[in-house]
Structure 1
Amino acid sequence: MSTLDDLAEGLLQAVRLHSPIPPISARAALTIDDAYAIQLLQVDAWVRDGRRVAGHKVGLTSTAMRRQLGVAQPDFGHLTEDMFFAENTAIRAERFLQPRIEPEIAFVLSRPLRGPGVNVATAIAAVDFILPALEIIDSRIAEWEIGIIDTIADNASSGGVVLGSPPVRPDQVDLRLAGCVLHRNGEVVATGAGGAVLGSPVNALAWLANVLGERGVGLEPGQVVLPGSMTAAVPFDAGDVVTSVVAGLGSVTARLGESA
């Protein structure tokens, strides 16, 4: 096996054994392209096991996080259909290693979207509706000791998604100004707005379509895109109930069940 195969297998094994691994960036000199190759090796393994790609997520959309990791642009990961959980239904804590949670505005596409050349107008025209969402981020890297190589290789630290309702047409809300209040166990723990996501979540959608297009991949009708968090991530421990309220969109609640 190649080094990339070995590193991908190590991340897959971390999930199987429910045991985080040391940063992979410390084990080999890797490029951003190497990290995405490791991510895709895992996605290929999931697909062989019968899992289906149902969308994508964009990460590192805040200037502070990009500065912290020393990168100039966001990253992306894959969302599989088994990462989606029903709202207000207890999610098994054993599904994750070290979860955190953050509020997002989810796009659901009505038509194909493929770069290069996607701009904001093209991107929003491909959106069927938007929903409030909570993304459960997780890391297979011990203690969240991650750099850009680690998080990309680890599928952009993807874990799970909870979508709210009802669907809202994208022309009904100014996504830049949509305010968000995040509650954890009844207490306000963070506030933010859509403008925290690259100036507008639509900018993140266009960025994703163009970057995927450079890699020969397009976004498909019915797929979900998470454009990035409106606040910093907060802890999501067994027994927690987290609710995001987004102006003009409504709310969404995620519950993490007690550990077995």
Structure 2
Amino acid sequence: MNATDMTPAQHAALGDALYAAWLERMPIAPLTSRLPELALADAYRIQQHYIARRMAAGAVVVGKKIGVTSKAVQDMLDVRQPDFGMLLSDMQYASGAAIAANTLIQPRAEGEIAFYLHRDLRGPGVDRAAVLEATEAVGACFEIVDSRIRDWAIRIGDTVADNASSGVYVLGSERVAPHDVDLGACRMRIEKNGVNAGEGVGAAALGHPADAVAWLANTLGELGMPLLAGEVVLSGALAALIPVGAGDRLSMRIEGIGGCEVSFV
């Protein structure tokens, strides 16, 4: 994450622009159209300021998300490396929720496996086994990604700064112990308005969803940040993004884990 010579004031200004875009539901031009060489270190500092603005308005960090883990999503966005963002309390919904589409800008849905931690994970040196031992349960979830960048015209610096393009997320009610299911081989199917809209397997998330969580723990460890007991971690999309809008209904099942449903009004 090599830094440029950007100043804290510049980080804050761009973080404020993303916060205003989120608050007003009005996307902005890509940050990389102004800063083509935006470094990841700077993008994460912009993200931190954006998240600080949302926390100052009352939100609380309740977990983390891993983005751009599957080849399908990398191909769709032409982004070739994972990133991470913060999950906030005002993003969370339960399965069966009806979400107002006008609270989002340009939403797309991802089916994922959520990890519920009962022990801290502190990198470096975290591996798949450590993740599974620290995980109390896994469950099905939808992440509804959204971009404050106009037309999803993002490069890696844009999505990192924009909190890994997080929108909201929907947690299924069923949970199973992580050792009770083959997380790499379990199959997922998503239906949109009753029609098959996507299929995938757990291995789509960096080869194994627990490996994706290990990547996150080790990446955060380089920054002095742990994953904490009680947090939820979204481990990455198992299939391509699905555009959604008012009137759409989504349902999904992940074999051996459970399901999740959401609608948009």
Structure 1, gaps ≥5 residues long: none
Relative to structure 2, which stretch is displaced further, 173-182 or 90-99?
A: 90-99
Contact 2:136 2:177 in 1 (8 A): yes
Query: Could you give the per-residue CA deviations for residues 166-195 of structure 1, whole angstroms, max 9, x where no partner exists?
Result: 210001100111001110000001111001
**Structure 2: which amino acid aligns with 1:163?**
L
Match of 1:18 in 2: 25
Match of 1:8 in 2: 15
1:180 aligns with 2:176: no
Overall identity of the aligned pairs, in % = 43
The structural deviation recorded for 1:165 is 2.1
Cα-Cα RMSD: 1.3
Distance 1:101 1:66, change over 3 A: closer
Query: Could you give the per-residue CA deviations for residues 234-254 of structure 1, whole angstroms, max 9, x where no partner exists?
Result: 011111110111101121001
1:232 aligns with 2:240: yes
The structural deviation recorded for 1:256 is 1.1
SS of aligned partner of 1:116:
coil
**Structure 2: which amino acid aligns with 1:229?**
A
**Structure 2: which amino acid aligns with 1:126?**
A
Select which of 216, 226, 250 maps to 1:242. 250
In 2, Cα distance between equivalents of 1:212 and 1:87: 29
Distance 1:136 1:65, change over 3 A: closer
Query: Could you give the per-residue CA deviations for residues 46-68 of structure 1, whole angstroms, max 9, x where no partner exists?
Result: 22222110101101112454466
In 2, Cα distance between equivalents of 1:65 and 1:193: 14
1:157 aligns with 2:132: no
Match of 1:171 in 2: 179
SS of aligned partner of 1:238:
coil
Contact 2:124 2:217 in 1 (8 A): yes
After TM superposition, the structure 1 = structure 2 runs for residues 1-260 of structure 1, keeping only pairs within 5 Å, are 2-28=9-35, 29-63=37-71, 65-66=73-74, 69=78, 71=80, 73-257=81-265
**Structure 2: which amino acid aligns with 1:32?**
L
Relative to structure 2, which stretch is displaced further, 97-106 or 26-35?
A: 26-35
TM-score normalised by L of structure 1: 0.95
In 2, Cα distance between equivalents of 1:64 and 1:183: 17
Contact 2:68 2:79 in 1 (8 A): no
SS of aligned partner of 1:140:
coil
Query: Could you give the per-residue CA deviations for residues 142-187 of structure 1, whole angstroms, max 9, x where no partner exists?
Result: 1111110100000000011111122100011001110011100000
Contact 2:95 2:173 in 1 (8 A): no
Structure 2, gaps ≥5 residues long: 1-7
**Structure 2: which amino acid aligns with 1:210?**
N
In 2, Cα distance between equivalents of 1:225 and 1:164: 13
Query: Could you give the per-residue CA deviations for residues 80-119 of structure 1, whole angstroms, max 9, x where no partner exists?
Result: 0111012212112122111000100000000111101111
SS of aligned partner of 1:14:
helix
SS of aligned partner of 2:167:
strand
In 2, Cα distance between equivalents of 1:64 and 1:134: 16
In 2, Cα distance between equivalents of 1:14 and 1:70: 22
SS of aligned partner of 1:2:
helix
In 2, Cα distance between equivalents of 1:110 and 1:65: 29
Distance 1:70 1:189, change over 3 A: closer
- Provide the aligned length of Structure 1 versus Structure 2: 256
